[in-house]
A = this chain, B = another copy of it.
Amino acid sequence: MGPCLSETELISRFFQFGIPDHWPTQGIGDDCAILEIGSTCLAVTTDTVAGGTHFLPDANPYTIGKKALAVNLSDLAAAGAVPRCFFLALSLPQADAVWLEAFSRGLSEEARAFACPLVGGDTTKTTQIGDVRAPFSITITAIGEAQKPLTRQGATVGDDIWVSGTPGDAYLALMLRTGQWRGECNNYLARAMDTPTPRVALGQFLSRHASACADISDGFLKDLGNILNRSKVGAEVYIDRLAVSDDLSKRSMNERRQAQLAGGDDYELVWTAPVCEREAIWDYARRRAQEGEAIALSRVGTITDSGLKLLDKNGCEIENSFFGFDHFAQ
């Protein structure tokens, strides 16, 4: 909600009602809420994406449909959950059949790829402002099932810190497309921004191996910070150990670090795991590569008692100018 009031402050000031839970619930302020219903553990997430805020004005409705679901599936992945179904609340300026056809194609492809049926929803017109209607707004609520749900709580001193993928690519694409950084947005970067792959299979694997997990949709440092806050621990991070794409590796060190550490809109996972899990995690990466679905994994640091230290490849501490850590509780 902008710098005046963070989402965390909003929730704690205005949205803690103290009403007792009927089902055992955890994970408020997490990627998902975890609800224990009988012997089933549900992970539920809700996310809004809107034209003009989350998408550039010329965004294509096919990718909008795909990504609107992908960002929610990424939350389920962070909870180690198997996607089971989703609900769609769609506000549109008009019922444009061409737009709807492409949107629904993107949405259904993503739904099919993750065997996640659409089971309910609501459609409304957006508000008229002067001569125009507000652009589309899409709220998806996705429900998954987790045998052993992951949350941001559970990181322990000595745990390794891991990240999937090559964080920063979506941000680099955004900077290039909006002309804020010099250069061309190639197909690889466009895909990173438009059609991210939610790490659903990785999340399910991690539910048996990780101690805490989050997706890095808000940027690596912010989402790692959420894990540190919730787990009441600190971290040492060797930032040059983050896997980096060819495109991002060619940028200046300043641009590269900004994109990798604070970029956001990447739907990769950051997680912590005991040292004894290293072999199992590398083994998972090898198996995925053998199956032709290679995924970069980076072990980037260690959980400490308190504080957040960023180190370069020589072990020299570097100042964190990429993200305000004021509200990281220690």
Whether A127 sits at the interface, judged by CB under 8 Å, is yes
Chain A interface residue count: which class? 35 or more
Chain B residue numbers with a CB within 8 Å of A111 are: 17, 19
If A22-B84, A104-B15, A119-B35 touch, whether A91 touches B50 (CB-CB below 8 Å) is yes
Whether A294 sits at the interface, judged by CB under 8 Å, is no
**Surface stretch bound by B, among A92-100, A153-161, A178-186, A315-323:** A92-100
* Inter-subunit contact A128/B1 (CB<8 Å): no
Docked Cα-Cα span, A52 to B51, in Å, equals 18
* Inter-subunit contact A37/B35 (CB<8 Å): no
Whether A312 sits at the interface, judged by CB under 8 Å, is no
Whether A135 sits at the interface, judged by CB under 8 Å, is yes
Whether A33 sits at the interface, judged by CB under 8 Å, is yes
* Inter-subunit contact B87/A33 (CB<8 Å): yes
Chain B residue numbers with a CB within 8 Å of A115 are: 19-20, 22
* Inter-subunit contact B125/A14 (CB<8 Å): no
Whether A39 sits at the interface, judged by CB under 8 Å, is yes
Docked Cα-Cα span, A92 to B17, in Å, equals 20
**Surface stretch bound by B, among A23-31, A191-199, A205-213, A233-241:** A23-31
Chain B residue numbers with a CB within 8 Å of A95 are: 1-2, 4-5, 10
Query: Apart from A19-B117, A21-B85, A38-B39, what are 14 other A-B pairs with CB-CB below 8 Å?
Result: A5-B95, A5-B97, A11-B121, A17-B111, A17-B118, A20-B117, A22-B117, A33-B87, A45-B120, A46-B121, A46-B141, A54-B124, A87-B141, A91-B137
**Can you spell out 24 A-B residue pairs with CB atoms less than 8 angstroms apart?**
A1-B124, A2-B125, A4-B94, A5-B95, A5-B97, A11-B123, A17-B107, A19-B116, A22-B145, A28-B120, A37-B38, A38-B38, A38-B39, A44-B141, A44-B143, A46-B88, A46-B89, A47-B89, A50-B124, A52-B127, A89-B141, A127-B135, A129-B129, A137-B137
